Amino acid sequence: MRILLIIVVIFAFLALIDAQAKVKAKTCITKCTKNMLGYFQSCDSCEAYVTCVFRVKYDRKCPGTLKWNDKTKECDFITPTCEKI
């Protein structure tokens, strides 16, 4: 039982490290949950965002060198809501 718990903790830690290796965002989403509708910071890139429509996730990219600003919900030259690690 202890070994199983240790394995679960290790996998959870590795998953957390993998998510943080891509983008350090204050709020980002990996999937669209029930009743979620709108635009959100992507966990994959600061230059990307996610559109959620009826629990379906659509990955979007900002044009050029713009980055997603989750406070204003638009692509911008600078963003206080995301930084690359």
Tokens 């993998």, residue? Answer: 18
Task: Tell whether pTM > 0.85.
Answer: no
Residue range(s) defining the domain that contains residue 11: 2-84
Q: Which stretches within the chain are classed as H helix? A: 2-22
Separation between Cα atoms, residue 67 and residue 55, nearest integer Å: 24
Is the distance from CB of 25 to CB of 40 less than 8 angstroms?
no
> How many domains, the chain?
1
The tens digit of pLDDT for each residue in 15-49 reads: 444 444 345 656 788 889 877 899 999 999 999 99
Report residue 7 as tokens.
């394995």
CA distance 31 to 64: 25
